Amino acid sequence: MSHKKVPLLRLEPRAETARVMVYAAPLIAVVLTLIGGSVLFALMGFAPHVALYNFFIAPISDTYGLSELAVKATPLVLIAIGLSLGFRANVWNIGAEGQLTIGALFGGMVALALNDLTGWYILPLEIIAGVLAGMAWAAIPAFLRTRFNTNEILVSLMLTYIAQLLLNLLVHGVLRDPAALGFPQSKAFSDSTLLPTILDGTRVTSSTIITLLIVGIAWVVVAKSFVGFQIRVAGLAPAAARYAGFRQPRLVWMTLLAGGGLAGLAGIFEVAGPIGQLQPTISPGYGFTAIIVAFLGRLHPLGILLAGLLVALSYLGGEAVQINMGMPLAVTGVFQGMLLFFLLACDVLVSYRIRWRGTGQGAVTGARAAKG
Amino acid sequence: MNLPPYRLALKGITKSFPGVLANDAVDLALQAGEIHALLGENGAGKSTLVKILYGVLQADAGEILWHGSPVEIGSPAAARKLGIAMVFQHFSLFETLTVAENVWLGIDKTEPLAVVAGKVRETSERYGLPLDPNRHVHELSVGERQRIEIVRCLLQNPELLVMDEPTSVLTPQEADRLFETLRRLAAEGMTILYISHKLDEIRALCGKATILRGGKRVAEAVPAEESSRSLARLMIGQDFAEAERKPDEGRIGAKRLTVGGLTIASTSPFGTPLDKVSFEIRGGEILGMAGVAGNGQAELISALIGEEKVPVGMLALDGTDIGDKGPAERRSLGLAVVPEERQGRSAVPELTLAENALLTGHQRFSLVRHGLVQAADAARRAGEIISRFAVKANGPQAEARGLSGGNLQKFIIGREIGQAPGVFVASAPTWGVDAGAAAAIHQAIIDLAATGAAVLIISQDLDELMVMSDRICAICAGRVSPAIDRAEATTERIGLMMGGSFTVAGEAA
Amino acid sequence: MFLDTTGAIIAATIIAATPLLLAAIGELVTEKSGVLNLGVEGMMLVGAVAGFAVDSAGGGAFGGLIAAMLAGAAMAALFGFLTLFLLTNQVATGLALTMFGTGLSALAGQGFVGTTVPRLGKIDIPLLSQIPLLGPAFFSHDALVYGSVLITAAVWYFLYRTRGGLILRAMGESADVAHAIGYPVIGIRFAAVLFGGAMAGLGGAYLSLAYTPLWAENMTAGRGWVALALVVFATWRPWRAMLGAYIFGGVTIAQLHVQGMGVSIPPQLLSMLPYAATIVVLVIISRDATRVKLNAPAALGKPFLPTA
């Protein structure tokens, strides 16, 4: 006959969200990533504690390191804020890298066109151009999804490749600085088209302050506004959103435009800030990494701010272990991937209780107690 | 004395879920050739018990004896191997596959598909359950789908056939035909465990009944020797006031909801389009709409909510055309619609009750100012609904998914009625709800009508419609029959209307 | 001369299509079981580097292909564990898999950049390969090209002609129903996910062992995503996936040839073609919502918790 099959591991839905786990899960994920990272370092033949120190502590042990953390975190947080709105509504824009590229390209082209002028209006103009370009790029998947029901994941991703090729085409062509000895790069931006730094001796610009402002605005939208509520309902229960009369196409447009606009903003901030010109590669994958930041921050603006700093550290750490210990830069990507995996796995604890074989009896007594 | 052992005996079956003890030391004994009722109201633990019996769930404690020997039933396949077959309440059929493929997947013998198809045809004819093995399930009516389940069971020559609420999806006439088949099977020696909460059916069909209440076995009875009332008392545990509606000629007011020639396609590929649906409801009036599931109810509800816009001239609320208006606009004009699905449609399980009050109440409760949510007001409104409708919940900040089906439905109905709608529509308002909550919901709807609102109740439960309605109509294949007065409505007549014989209604009019 | 060129172009098209076909067929089986794995790109990359590493280390081309399948399946197992056992969001987990795979393959492939292995050998089918035009076009390929066609045929036969295939399709239709009848939903889906991973790994290895026998970071260049799009394009039918893969192979080869002929179109514009074509194709297919609904596995991407 058959025997009783009790699985080793079993999930039991919780009646209520575990509030503690909402905050604990990301922390557990970080700890697990550190453990996983130690194993990885050991496998590569490095002493884990030395490597972890070089990865996580050394890069931010001086003021300049901290300022670099802000420089790296700024685009990550900006993009993640935009993406998180979409993810909340089940709108999967994964083409932020492309929207960033297009924002940098068009914002940068405005900057180059006005490169020889001076005036207060130049920076706002190039920033607006960057935001609009990012929004336009995101409008393509928004239009195709709302009009033709086309999957936005694949469209936004394909557009990323196209955006990068377009940037590549233009910096090899019309935008190339004749004085650059054949290198594919534009003229350097003039002072009037560059964002001013706000701390002497660092690369931190006013973009960081604007980002903090945007985090504040996003917090109001997400936590207080009715639009934020509609976005959440659309993501949690699309049928309930239809029943309530929340217009889904409008939410798709709004979240994609917000995501594209903020990615475009991050793009123009990069070229008008740390980079200072147009070149074939603008971002070390910020648009993709921001997806991790968004999830690690629980799609919440304040969480994203903290997560942005942590993930920015993984970029600095990757560079540090490359320089100090000769490790390949790809370590960063592995760390980021691991972090997201562990986070998704830990998220289970928020809505489910894990039961191991043999712990089932506890539920009976518990239920009896609750009944009596 | 050596009596032959019971064909099946359950002893001390106990099963708990987080926070609920679904089965508490339940005993059940079944003999060869008997039709045995398992009676209990929603939430009494019937479904859990049969799932344990069929190997879908495992008991925490207790013993299963099959022909007197202890067995472990670890999976449905193991149950089938013993000779236990089951017809589920929610059919376990794959819509895009054919009848034969569905049967093939549900039996364990690995015969070629063609052989199985032949047997389906043969068995279905022998027992008066006609079926074409090559049709796709999505083309079939609910009654035909049930036949697939039964034929699938019969092909395995089971000794015990479990039927979970089989008549809830049938017209009264179809139910009578099913009873004939079941009696014949029992006469051939098959044991049938018949799960239901419909007392008349059980008294007509079953030789014995085991009654569950709150997870415990409270009695074993011979239904023929009991009255419906005494059975109800055993099942519910107390007498309580059912909702009542007295005919009152004077209260019917002006036309409030007018549906005229409503004709729309279905958005779902397997749906039923609506074909010239017409009816009207006046203030103070309750119209009941009977019908077997899948005959266009979902499409009608969707069209009334406003999820799908309809052409001009087909839908009017208090004389205003609302065909091109969305759900929020219609709600602000005073149309409240409660669809059948609670979790994920009329409520969001992951959100708190306060947020669920906001879901549809943001306008008429004015919970949004300058684009910002007035969270304190939403919580206050939710608190009012909770206390007015005696919803069992840990306050406005409790998550909807933590509530039982009956309590969540009371909250949802309370939320909609609390907005003082001029027209109120509910589909299956008490489906899966315990008797106490059902009575409370019925009373709230009756009270709403008494304030001059027009009410439409769409339901498969004829008892519910008979208690509540002033007039009753039926929906079949996307068409709606003319309505007849409750005084002239009999189960048989409504049954014929549900089957599409609208002339029965016409004769009365 | 004309025949030779045409034959070569067709052959090149088929070669360019093969990695797409392998990855798409694998994902098709995964999706038919009701699971959406967006990690194809990551699994392909890990497969590509694993295959290359084993081949370089002396394991031979065959050893490389086996290693690639195992590596792809291992990645898929990670995805399967998270989504099927821990019920994580399939979209997010798939994205994580792609990012992790991209990083891991770059890390593992560090030592192989700039090295090369012998290209997967060609097998001329006797007699048939002698036919003018058709011979060089269709019958003078490496084993994996033939293999990919055989796999497509086998998957079609399995899905539509066997009881096992019917069970798999049923799983994608409704996990709850399958569970109620008594099928081990999670086990079957896990197997489908593993198959998808193995095929993606194989597709990746085709790139690093046959298409361009070398390893480069991110060498899949979005092919994993194109494969995902192909599954939608094919409306979840194996032969249509093959047709789609060959069309995309054709687009890729056409743009290479145009570049080669010295036409004065910037190469970047031509390189955009496959990506733009993917978008166009997706729009054409998905605008008919009913058709997609009828063909798409109804349970695709929905989590399943066996409770009752």
| Structural domains of chain B in order of their starting residue, each with its CATH number | 8-236 (3.40.50.300), 252-508 (3.40.50.300)
Longest dimension (CA), chain C: 68
Tally of residues, chain C = 308
Residue C192 has pLDDT above 80, yes or no: yes
Would you place residue B165 in the very low, low, confident or very high pLDDT band (cuts 50, 70, 90)? confident
Selected residue with higher pLDDT from B247 and B397? B397
CATH of the domain at A215: 1.10.3470
Q: Is residue A333 part of a domain?
A: yes
Q: Is residue A367 part of a domain?
A: no
- Report the b/e string of A254-291 with b at 16+ CB within 10 A: bbbbbbbbbbbbbbbbbbbbbbbbbbeebbebbbbbbb
Domain containing residue A108: 16-352
Q: What pLDDT is recorded for position A371?
A: 32
Of B77, B93, B101, the CB nearest to C177: B93
d(CA A131, CA A139): 12
Q: What pLDDT is recorded for position A230?
A: 96
Residue B239 has pLDDT above 70, yes or no: no
How distant is the Cα of C165 from the closest Cα of chain A, in angstroms? 25
Residues in chain A closer than 8 A to B364 (CB atoms)? none
Q: What pLDDT is recorded for position B500?
A: 87
- Contact at CB, C173 and B95, closer than 8 angstroms: yes
Q: Is residue C31 part of a domain?
A: yes
3-state helix, strand, coil in chain C (%, to 5): 75, 5, 20
Q: Is residue A8 part of a domain?
A: no
Q: What pLDDT is recorded for position B141?
A: 82
Could you give the number of structural domains in chain A? 1
Residue B232 has pLDDT above 90, yes or no: no
Q: Is the alpha carbon torsion for B342, B347, B352, B353 positive or negative? A: negative
Strands ordered across the beta sheet of B84-87: B84-87, B160-164, B191-196, B35-39, B208-213, B216-221
Average pLDDT over residues C179-202: 94
Interface of B with C (CB under 8 A): 47-48, 51, 55-57, 75-77, 80, 88, 91-97, 101, 104-106, 110, 113, 268-269
Could you give the number of structural domains in chain C? 1
Q: Is residue C260 part of a domain?
A: no
Chain A residues 225-284 within an 8 A CB cutoff of chain C: none
- Contact at CB, A328 and C110, closer than 8 angstroms: yes
Residue B469 has pLDDT above 70, yes or no: yes
Q: Does A345 touch chain C (CB under 8 A)?
A: yes
- Contact at CB, C181 and B97, closer than 8 angstroms: no
Of C166, C179, C293, the CB nearest to B105: C166
d(CA C195, CA C164): 14
Going from the C-alpha of B287 to that of each of A224, B305, B438, B474, the distances in angstroms are 41, 17, 18, 10
Q: What pLDDT is recorded for position A326?
A: 85
Using DSSP, state whether B257 is helix, strand or coil.
strand
Residues 6+ apart with CB under 8 A from A229: B355, B358, B373
- Contact at CB, B348 and A12, closer than 8 angstroms: no
Would you place residue C1 in the very low, low, confident or very high pLDDT band (cuts 50, 70, 90)? low
Average pLDDT over residues C24-49: 96
Residue C242 has pLDDT above 80, yes or no: yes
Going from the C-alpha of A207 to that of each of A97, A204, A225, B269, the distances in angstroms are 18, 8, 25, 50
Of B21, B348, B401, the CB nearest to A367: B21
Interface probe for A, chosen from C99, C190, C226, C251 (most Cβ of A below 10 Å), is: C99
Residues 6+ apart with CB under 8 A from B291: B297, B458, B460, B474, B475, B476, B498
Average pLDDT over residues C256-268: 78
d(CA B155, CA B503): 39
Q: Is A208 exposed, middle or buried (0-12, 13-18, 19+ CB in 10 A)?
A: buried
Q: Does A243 touch chain B (CB under 8 A)?
A: yes
Average pLDDT over residues B121-147: 87
Domain containing residue C166: 22-120+139-220
* Portion of chain C with pLDDT greater than 90, in percent: 55
Q: Is A228 exposed, middle or buried (0-12, 13-18, 19+ CB in 10 A)?
A: buried
d(CA A238, CA B491): 38
Beta strands B423-427 and B335-338 are parallel
Q: What pLDDT is recorded for position B364?
A: 87
Residues in chain A closer than 8 A to B330 (CB atoms)? 245
* Portion of chain B with pLDDT greater than 90, in percent: 56
Q: Is residue C17 part of a domain?
A: no
**CB of C89 within 8 A of CB of A153?**
no
Of C106, C272, C305, the CB nearest to A333: C106
d(CA B50, CA B63): 14
Angle of CA points C217, C209, C61, to nearest 5° = 135
Q: Is residue C252 part of a domain?
A: no
Taking chain A (372 residues) in runs of 10, the rounded mean pLDDT of each run is: 52 74 85 91 89 90 92 96 95 95 96 90 94 97 94 93 95 87 87 88 91 96 95 94 93 97 96 92 92 90 94 92 87 87 86 66 36 30
Would you place residue B1 in the very low, low, confident or very high pLDDT band (cuts 50, 70, 90)? very low
Neighbouring C-beta atoms of residue A30, cutoff 10 Å: 17
A-B contacts (CB, under 8 Å) = 118
Selected residue with higher pLDDT from C201 and C284? C201
Q: Is the alpha carbon torsion for B200, B202, B203, B209 positive or negative? A: negative
Which helix (H) or strand (E) is B30 found in, with range? Answer: strand B20-30
ipTM > 0.90, yes or no: no
Q: What pLDDT is recorded for position A234?
A: 94
Q: What pLDDT is recorded for position A360?
A: 44
Q: Is residue C36 part of a domain?
A: yes
Residues in chain C closer than 8 A to B95 (CB atoms)? 173-174, 298
Residues in chain B closer than 8 A to A17 (CB atoms)? 350, 399
Q: Does B17 touch chain A (CB under 8 A)?
A: yes
CA B279 to chain centre: 24
Q: What pLDDT is recorded for position A6?
A: 52
**CB of A357 within 8 A of CB of A7?**
yes
Beta bridge pairs of residue B475: B480
Worst-scoring range by mean pLDDT, B430-444, B469-483, C64-78?
B430-444
Selected residue with higher pLDDT from B503 and A364? B503
